[in-house]
Structure 1
Amino acid sequence: MKAPLFRDPVFDGAADPVVGRFSNGRNMQPGIWPHGSGIIRWSDGIDIMACFHIDIEDIFMRNSDDCIAVYGTRWDFYGDTRYVTVRNSVLWADVALPIMMGTHGDHHKDGDTIEHICFENIDILEHHELQ
């Protein structure tokens, strides 16, 4: 089964605050320009939760919380996260972190596994942890 492929979408904020809070992306490819600076406070860019085989390439992302967050279990998403690659990208976090990994999980059971995560050729323009 081939994973879905998204090309050249533009994310410029969100009318729905729930959508603006996080997005769970799969196979983001060149030409994606998420930009959410100042639109909704504490709005992560891409949250990867309980999923496998995620490829994010050639993006510029600026937003008002974590740019890319990698978690196991979070909210109603349960399970491990494996095989995530982010490459050739530029991250700019106005507040919080360009990259956040592993702070949430299923502590009520046996926990989650986060493995095979690769960030390569990443430029971080700015980082302000003002929380």
Structure 2
Amino acid sequence: MTPSSGKAAAKKSLPAGIAEATIEFRDGVLLADVPGPNIGRMEAPALVAQIGEAVDRSGRGFRTLALDLSKVSLMSGMGLGFCIELHKRARARGADCVVTGLNAHLRDLFRLMRIDRLYRIALTRDELPWGT
């Protein structure tokens, strides 16, 4: 995906039964709408590959990686690893990281595991740094 407006489809297909994230680049924000309801051992590696590929292809053409987790109910340790890996890739390109759509359980999990130190938590998409 090149840094231009619009949505991008994954180049590689994901394993059967694993939904793809919808990825959009707009106003300096690379937004990944992550499918749910769970991110576990099957979903995490596939989503890291898909979203990570978009991050890698974008180079330094974005300022913020935003993950919308509003469709996600549960996240395992592998799901937390998914968040950490994408944070590393985004920071390597100088981008900040924001997560939105966390339910109460995930918000508590992010705080407990200190993932909230890696991602700024936005309550809604309206709080994403579009164009800033």
Q: TM-score, normalised by structure 2?
A: 0.37
Larger relative contact order, structure 1 or 2 (CA cutoff 8 Å, min sep 6): 2
Structure with greater helix percent: 2
Q: Which has the higher strand share?
A: 1
Rg larger in structure:
1
